[in-house]
Amino acid sequence: MSLLKGRTAIVTGAGSGMGKAIAHLFAKQGANVTIADINDESAKTTADTAAHQRVQTIQADVASESDVDSLVSKTVAAYGGLDIVVNCAGVPQSFTSIEELTMEQWDAIMNVNSKSIFLMAKYAVPFMKKQKSGSIVNIASIAGIRARPGLNAYCASKGAAIMLTKALALELAPFQIRVNVINPGPANTPMIGQFLVGDETDKEEGMKRIFQDSVPLGMLIEPEDIAQGALYLASDLSKIVTGEILNIDGGRGI
């Protein structure tokens, strides 16, 4: 199947984990893909292992307005348009009590996990409005609707991402631009070890704890599970779906 043949997509945070799986699946489905990440080396590894050559890497910090502006304009220049944006870049938070949380930590988490969605929309939407079509897929988290202690800034940043998705979906519907959000549950990516509580340093043990305690289906979510959801929301399979929250979480959000 070539569900994205001829479409152009930007996937942020595509150097690792879910973003990498999404970029790979989109390339396999025929899209031109800009693989964007703050870590250029890992972005290049994603590109080297993609299914076809219509991919490019752009180093970008999604919290920087000038980087986002340039990311969007370079993508349009390279491929002649922009149909899909997947905002997957994100940073975790390790357990921090509210009185210990610093302004710098708060700002860093909010900037990457939610301000970036505003910035990507600000620069991508003008191109999508011109062509009267587009799909924006935000990767938030089940932590955006179901809190965990000590993840105060992370939960707030993901809650903001979810509500911004809904606000943009309404605002952009007249232009046939759809905006949806995926809430992954605890996933088998490099990020998961960084959510651990206190002195718990063994990643495998931490994963096991999250797996046992919070996922009713009893397994971690794989990056490819998220990629399948992103493909659905990015493609015409979901042409009448906007403002929707898709929990891909093994039941964690129930």
Ligand X SMILES: NC(=O)c1ccc[n+]([C@@H]2O[C@H](COP(=O)([O-])OP(=O)(O)OC[C@H]3O[C@@H](n4cnc5c(N)ncnc54)[C@H](O)[C@@H]3O)[C@@H](O)[C@H]2O)c1
Choices 9-17, 50-58, 95-103, 168-176; region in contact with ligand X by CB under 6 A: 9-17
Note whether 250 binds ligand X by CB under 6 A. no
- Whichever of 13 and 159 has its CB closer to ligand X, that residue is 13
- Whichever of 72 and 91 has its CB closer to ligand X, that residue is 91
Note whether 108 binds ligand X by CB under 6 A. no
Note whether 225 binds ligand X by CB under 6 A. no
Q: What is the dihedral of CA 92, 50, 176, 155, to 10 degrees?
A: -10
Is 232 among the catalytic positions?
no
> Measured from the CB of residue 18, what is the shortest distance to ligand X in angstroms?
4
Using the rule CB under 6 A, which residue among 3, 191, 197, 241 binds ligand X? 191
Using the rule CB under 6 A, which residue among 139, 153, 156, 172 binds ligand X? 139
Residues 6+ apart with CB under 8 A from 105: 93, 96, 153
Note whether 10 binds ligand X by CB under 6 A. no
> Measured from the CB of residue 17, what is the shortest distance to ligand X in angstroms?
2
> Measured from the CB of residue 225, what is the shortest distance to ligand X in angstroms?
11
Note whether 159 binds ligand X by CB under 6 A. no
> Measured from the CB of residue 131, what is the shortest distance to ligand X in angstroms?
25
Question: DSSP for 57-99?
Answer: EEE--TT-HHHHHHHHHHHHHHHS---EEEE----------TT
Round to whole Å and give the CA distance between 80 and 43: 22
- Whichever of 72 and 187 has its CB closer to ligand X, that residue is 187
Using the rule CB under 6 A, which residue among 32, 34, 42, 235 binds ligand X? 42
| DSSP structural state of residue 132 | T
Give the binding-site size for ligand X (rule: CB under 6 A). 29
Interaction pattern, residues 56-85, with ligand X; x per rule: CB under 6 A:
----xxxx----------------------
- Whichever of 66 and 131 has its CB closer to ligand X, that residue is 66
Query: How many whole angstroms from its chain centre is CA 126?
Result: 21
Interaction pattern, residues 162-181, with ligand X; x per rule: CB under 6 A:
--------------------
Round to whole Å and give the CA distance between 142 and 225: 14
Q: Which of 104, 80, 108 is nearest to 92 (CA)?
A: 108
Question: DSSP for 198-249?
Answer: TT---HHHHHHHHHHHH-TTSSPBPHHHHHHHHHHHHSGGGTT--S-EEEES
- Whichever of 169 and 192 has its CB closer to ligand X, that residue is 192
How many CB atoms neighbour CB 62 within 10 A? Answer: 24
Residues 6+ apart with CB under 8 A from 36: 10, 11, 12, 13, 14, 43, 57, 58, 59, 60, 62, 71, 89
> Which are the catalytic amino acids?
154
